[in-house]
Amino acid sequence: MTHMKTHQRLMATALSAALLATPATPAWAAEQSLELRSDGGYTSQRLPAGTRDVDLDRQLSGNCRFNRSWGYDLSNMEIWVDKGCSARFTLSGDFSDNEHRSSNTGAAIAAVAAIAGLALLASHHKNRDRDDDRPDNNDGGYGRQINSSGGLCLDISGRAVEGAPAIVFGCHNGSNQRFDWGRGGELRVSGLCLDVAKGSDRNGAEVIAYRCTGGDNQRWQARGNQIRSRMSGKCLDVRDGRLRPGQAVQLWDCNGGDNQRWWW
């Protein structure tokens, strides 16, 4: 047991982010695999308790793109696939009650060491795949248009400056219409992020471009053809259902209307 504690302290120092454990009930970091298949539509599954991260391990069929045809939501402990994506995923976390927990101290030491290496590899993998997990780009890596109905596109009014409102406008592929999905769920446009103004969770909350802060009001999730705020679960919505150039974009309760449907 003394050897186990010493080894854990060494791993914590090496990682600069400790896997903290009490002597009586250590936290068992581990990985699990999960397969999820879409038959062309949206399919979801609950994540095991203790899941902290999800990575696509192997694409089995379809075109699996993060936040486009697959994604996950740790606040609701859910993973989903859509549009024919079928894949095997690796789940990382503290699965203290799963069947893989070992009562052997020697195996526990090996597991802690393995997780230290896996954490470093996972970090490298995420950085390497940051661009690959975005929707496909056709314009040299500078993002792509997000289309609405009626031949309109999500647009930052005028140009992408801090505080400018989001609207729909005729598609022209300008820099104020090219959005890039970030790994954390942010939608970047010309170095800024799509932001729910003042962090409001009310219906009708204004959506603007703003400097990227990492806040929950700048995190989004694609679900089918909806774009939902991870902060409130509400949908990106064209105000009053009027799909016409210059109409403001806002947050609203998800209702499946055409003014809440987006393609990219």
pLDDT tens, residue by residue, 63-84: 888 877 888 887 678 898 888 9
CB of 209 within 8 A of CB of 156?
A: yes
How far apart are the C-alpha atoms of 71 and 56, rounded to whole Å?
9
- Domain limits, the chain: 2-128, 149-260
Q: What is the DSSP letter of 183?
A: T
Residue 37 has pLDDT above 50, yes or no: yes
What are the structure tokens assigned to 218, written together? 């700048």
167-177 pLDDT, tens digit each? 999 999 899 99
Buried b / exposed e along 251-264 (16+ C-beta atoms within 10 A): bbebeeeebbbbeb
Residue 154 has pLDDT above 80, yes or no: yes
Higher pLDDT residue, 104 or 137? 104
What are the structure tokens assigned to 83, written together? 């549009």
149-260: which CATH architecture? Trefoil (2.80)
The whole-number average pLDDT for the span 248-258 is 94
How far apart are the C-alpha atoms of 237 and 249, rounded to whole Å?
6
Prediction pTM value: 0.51
Q: What is the largest CA-CA distance in the chain?
A: 69
Kindly write down the DSSP assignment for every residue of 54-108, as one continuous string.
EEEEEEEES---BTTTEEEETTTTEEEE-TT-EEEEEEEEE-TTSTT----HHHH
Distances in Å between the Cα of 206 and the Cα atoms of 144, 148, 233, 236 are 22, 18, 15, 10
Residue 3 has pLDDT above 60, yes or no: no
Residue 259 has pLDDT above 60, yes or no: yes
Which regions of 176-242 does DSSP assign to beta strands (E)? 180-181, 187-189, 192-196, 207-210, 220-223, 226-229, 235-238
